[in-house]
């Protein structure tokens, strides 16, 4: 058991849209990711997905609206809902989701990282 300093962990990598595992509990991963630009439209058939903005801004595009998030705010995308995260500048995010969650859900993309290939930091 160790405490986790989010700033320290986030300063350890620069890649965008490449989630890193920083914790695990009850079959869920706590992940950190840096975001910049547009992600890919996708959905998760069986998993909800939580985005918490640690630093910066993030917009979650849904088919019927856009949810703008600022530092300290989070949004949960329910399973089956198509969405596309967009960060106008680099944003630092904490994600909380089931360990088996594939980052691009139902879509194969250059950003795809299979759940069993995620880096632990």
Full domain range(s) for residue 100: 6-114
Nearest residue to 83 (alpha-carbon basis) of 36, 37, 44:
44
The whole-model pTM stands at 0.90
Residue 68 within any structural domain of the chain: yes
The pLDDT value recorded for residue 110 is 74
Work out the angle at residue 28's Cα, subtended by the Cα atoms of residues 22 and 29, and round it to the nearest 5 degrees.
Answer: 20
pLDDT digit string (tens) for 50-78? 999 999 999 999 999 999 999 999 999 99
Kindly give the residue spans of alpha helices, DSSP state H, lying in the chain: 6-10
Question: Which CATH number do you get for residue 68?
Answer: 2.60.120.10
Size (the chain), residues: 121
R_g (Cα) of the chain, nearest Å = 13
Q: How far, in Å, CA of 65 to CA of 118, rounded? A: 30
Residue 120 within any structural domain of the chain: no
Assign 117 to helix, strand or coil.
helix
For residue 120, the 8-state DSSP code is E
Q: Is the pLDDT of residue 120 over 80?
A: yes
The total of structural domains in the chain comes to 1
Residue 28 within any structural domain of the chain: yes
Neighbours of 58 (CB within 10 A): 24
Residue 121 within any structural domain of the chain: no
Q: Is the pLDDT of residue 85 over 80?
A: yes
């Amino acid at each position: 058991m160790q405490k986790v300093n989010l700033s320290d962990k986030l300063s350890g990598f620069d890649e965008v849209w490449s989630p890193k595992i920083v914790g695990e509990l009850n079959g869920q991963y706590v992940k950190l990711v840096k975001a910049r630009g547009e992600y890919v439209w996708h959905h998760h058939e069986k998993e909800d997905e939580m985005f918490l903005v640690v630093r910066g801004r993030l917009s979650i595009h849904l088919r019927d609206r856009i949810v703008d998030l600022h530092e300290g705010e989070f949004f949960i995308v329910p399973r089956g809902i198509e969405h596309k995260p967009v960060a106008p500048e680099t944003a630092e995010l904490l994600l909380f989701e089931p360990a088996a969650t594939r980052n691009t859900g139902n879509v194969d993309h250059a950003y795809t990282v299979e759940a069993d290939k995620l880096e632990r930091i």
